[in-house]
Structure 1
Amino acid sequence: MTQSVGKRPKLVLFPTRTMTPTPGVSDDDFQIYASYRGSSGSGFFGTLKVVRKTDGKLLFPFDGVGDIGPFASKADAVAAALERGEQVVKADIAQPEL
C-alpha cells in the first residue's frame, strides 16, 4: 500500500488586495505624519509621511525626494514637514495621482 502525499498548504505572507484608486476630495481624506530626526550638532531634519485614506496610497515620501532641512530647532523641522505635507495634499486634491 502506498501513501499519497498531498500538496503543502500555500503560505501567504502578504495577501494581495485589489484596491481601486480613489482620489481624495478634502483634507479629511488624507493623513499627515510629521516629525523630525537629527541633533543640534548636525541640525534637525523634518520627516514626513502622507497617506491618502480613501485607498491607502502612500503619497510621500517617494523616490528622489530631497531632505526637509536642516533647521536649527525641532519645532522648525516639524513645521516645515507639516507645510510640505499640506502642499502634497493640495496638489493631490487638484490633480490626483492614481
Structure 2
Amino acid sequence: MTHATLKTLSRDLHDFADEASDHLKDAARKTGTDASEALARSSKAISRAADRLRDEAENSAATTRAQMSETVRAYPVSTSVVAGAVVALLATFVLVRLSQA
C-alpha cells in the first residue's frame, strides 16, 4: 500500500470510528426503540469500516502479487538464489531447533 493510500484509509477508519462512537453515545442517552436504532446505525458504521479495510487489504495483496510475479519474471535466476537461501536458512533453523530438543 502506498503512503497516500494508508493515510486515506486511516482517515476513513477514523471517521467511521467517530461516527460509530457518536451513535453509541446517542444510544447511551436513549432507551427502548431509539437506543436500538442508534445501535443499529453504529453497527452499520463499524461494518462499513471493516468492509473498507478488507477491500484495501485485497487490493494491496493483489498489487503485491502482481509486483512479485513481475519481479520473478524479470529476475528468475536472482529470485531462485534468494528463494534457495531462504529455504536453506529455514532448514538450518529447524535442524538447530530439533537438535536442541
Query: Which protein shows a greater Rg?
Result: 2
Name whichever structure is richer in helix by fraction.
2
Higher relative contact order (Cα pairs below 8 Å, separated by 6+ residues) = 1
Name whichever structure is richer in strand by fraction.
1
Same-fold call, TM > 0.5?
Answer: no
